[in-house]
Structure 1
Amino acid sequence: MEYTINKLAQLSGVSTRTLRYYDEIDLLKPARVNSSGYRIYGQSEVDRLQQILFYRSLDMKLDTIKGVLANKEFNFETALKQHYQELIKKREQIDQLLLTVEKTLSYQKGEIRMSDTEKFAAFKNEKLAENEEKYGHEIREKYGKETIEASNKKWNNMSEADFKAMTQTEEELFTALKELVSTNDLDSATAKTVYEKHKEWLSYTWPSYSAEVHRGLADMYAADERFAAYYNERGGKNSAELLCQAIKQYAV
């Protein structure tokens, strides 16, 4: 079956403007353009659009989706299975949040007791799942399964007070990092504060501290654009590089 751009928009819920944009960036080209100048989409384009929307539901950027679909090793069935597993993870996270909301409502009514740890369990599990998805494979290869599992356990058992303290420490880290960006002086007290605050922040989840492992983490930050983007976005340009340099200079 074939569809005009208007019919495909109605079918998929994607606007005609978006479909035209997908055509412009070569993400979803029509099968053909008829004699009247209308874009015509066939079954393969419909399937490709469904795949694009699956990836969009996982918050994947368009240029990344384009790269994935252009890969010669791309397999539609394998991709569907991966989507299925990701959606299962999302459902589990939502179920945990719903359970926390239900328990909190009962707690507010005085019907049940609820520990401070339980109040934050769903949020911590959500963050843990996010980190596992982004970095799980790399950090296990670098630090070993046992170390990471111990770190995850410590994270899950973190008290409300420690969670707040860790968040405050991270804020103080970025305050110092912004100042270091402005001075670019690695021999300054500010640079040492950056290192110390990062070390303190790690202490909330690391089973034990190791200067060697800390330096290795700095190398990982430097090599992975996802880490760099996180620090540069919050601390300013070159924040990630300066953080890595401060760690290497003071983690001895």
Structure 2
Amino acid sequence: MSDEDRRPGEPPAEGLTVGRTAGLVGVSVKTLHHWDAIGLVRPGGRTRAGYRVYGDDDVARLHRVLVYREIGLPLAAIGRLLDDPEVDAREHLRRQRGQLAGRISRLERMVGAVDRMLLESKPGIRLTPEEQVEIFGADWEPARTEEAEERWGGTAQWAQYAERAAAMDREDWEGVAAAVEALSADLAAAYRAGVAPGSGAADALAERHRAQISTYFDCTYAMQVCIGRTFVTDPGYVAHYDAVAPGLGGWLYEVIAANAGAHGVDPESAAWE
């Protein structure tokens, strides 16, 4: 009964109605009626008109019931626990806490197993983010793969990459990382040595670069040119190559463009095909 439901001249109830109590503790009115019927928690107060209401002690008992129910005790056991003066409630809660901690540990292991299953069933790199950083270096950002999927996920090249990456294990990726590092070092050395784009040495490096991309998908000369353009337009790539050797990205694009031109591709009009 709410204050608005009181009879004219009746003082406010010294307690809470069933509806208000249900809203306070987060259960249904039907649940409270059931607990009342089985003697688990009974409203101990009454208004002058005879309406039963829940007092502070009743609400406190309800909260204890909710705690015990949350940790899996049946209602009958909860009633005995609350009503038996010989029961040490704190000791019982400590035991329940230990059991809950064990359950949480088991659930965490199950979550980890499910995560591994999801990782293994998803096309693409079958490495955890931690393994990716360990293999590709501290500056590697695992989110790059997700960003790439958002951008290229609908293309044939991405489908090819996903299929190939899913078949690679940690040892394969370690080999890829080593090849990337070796090519980066050789590109920087050639750039510092003044190797001219279009020369035999530069063309060999361009072919190594295209072969490296082809680890993931079949990369044509035109595709390589499109990728090379990002080395001078994308701030992330510019910063990456500048960190190896200032200006390396621009020189690498010229090397790629010259080699593509030698194979009949116009770098100015090259398109993703």
TM-score norm. by structure 1 comes to 0.44
Question: Considering only CA atoms, is the larger Rg found in Structure 1 or Structure 2?
Answer: 2
TM-score norm. by structure 2 comes to 0.41
> Which is richer in helix?
1
